[in-house]
Amino acid sequence: MNAERIVRIVAGFFILLSLSLGVQASPLFVSEYFLFFTAFVGLNLFQSGFTQICPLNSILAKFGIKGSC
């Protein structure tokens, strides 16, 4: 499994988790402030699309996980 795939899986998991903790209709609701974490993940994905800078990708590279190229 390459780093880009892991980044997508982790980002999707964090978005779903923070939505389930931040939306009042969810049975796992804790606080609507978890929606800020959803926005943070989305903005990070957005900026990494333009700048090619991804903190998780850098962390995975230190663990020896290769990119797709």
Dump pLDDT digits (tens) for 15-44.
999 999 999 999 999 999 999 999 999 999
Residue 40 lies in a domain: yes
Residue 8 domain boundaries: 3-62
Is residue 1 predicted with pLDDT exceeding 90? no
CA 68: distance to chain centroid? 18
Residue 67 lies in a domain: no
Give CA–CA dist 17/14, Å, rounded.
Answer: 5
Residue 69 lies in a domain: no
How far is residue 50 from each of residues 16, 27, 34, 36, measured CA to CA in Å? 23, 36, 25, 21
pLDDT tens digits for range 40-64: 999 999 999 999 899 999 899 999 9
Residue 68 lies in a domain: no
Residue 37 lies in a domain: yes
